[in-house]
Amino acid sequence: MKILNTMKNEFEEIRKSKYFKYIVAFGIIKKVILLVMILVPLLSLSQELVIGEERVEPGIVLIFEGAIKDVIEPKSNNLSVEETNVHIEARVNWDSNNIPDGTPAGGFIPYLKISSIVLNEKTGLKTFIDLTPHINLIDNFHYARNISLPGEIDDLYTVEFKINAPHQFDLAFHKDWMKKFGKGLFKNTSFKYENVDFEEIAKANRD
């Protein structure tokens, strides 16, 4: 109890001191600096441009993104960071609500054929790419490709994604699924987004 009273008295003396506000301010600044040091690396790792987000039945969520170009293996069929501007991604997962019985919420949807057309709105030049399955420690399984933009990084682009369901020889369907959803996972579809600005992402680099 005596120690507690002593500490209390010492704090009162410090509080009355003309330097108290500077001590408090210094403590706050230290906390802010620590927070920035923690958050900045995390933000740089997760920096992504969300191009669009869609849902197709029976409960599949598609998120299309432009991410920072990355080192991808094998190099034989993936362009290097030096040869590209951005990393085009399609994250395709089950939704968490209104999904088929037995479906793992958030689970990755495999066996899809996804392609993208990137059109330079100023020049009309196009880039055609196939997105292949990738895995990392941020998004886990996803479809993606490093690409070189068909023009300058500060040009505006129209980006179209074409999503094809698994081929009949890639995925087999049980009777209970066919009874409720038919002989397919979903209907082939496409989504188009205009005035996409990749400049900030194209200028960024991963550590």
∠ CA 153-155-157, nearest 5°, is: 105
pLDDT score of 206: 84
Which of 14-28, 69-83, 102-116, 126-140 is the least confident region? 14-28
pLDDT score of 49: 96
Instruction: Name the average pLDDT for the chain.
Output: 87
Tell me which architecture the domain covering 49-203 has in CATH. Answer: Sandwich (2.60)
Domain boundaries, the chain: 2-43, 49-203
CA of residue 91 relative to chain centroid, distance: 7
pLDDT at 37 over 50: no
∠ CA 136-142-42, nearest 5°, is: 45
User: Could you report the per-residue pLDDT of 127-173, keeping only the tens digit for each?
Assistant: 999 999 999 999 999 999 999 999 999 999 999 999 999 998 999 99
Q: To which H or E segment does residue 15 belong? A: helix 2-16
CB atoms within 10 A of CB 82: 6
Give the confidence band of 194 by pLDDT, cuts at 50, 70, 90.
very high
Nearest CA to 136 out of 88, 201, 71, 84 is that of 71
Q: How far is Cα 167 from Cα 185, in angstroms, rounded to an integer?
A: 10
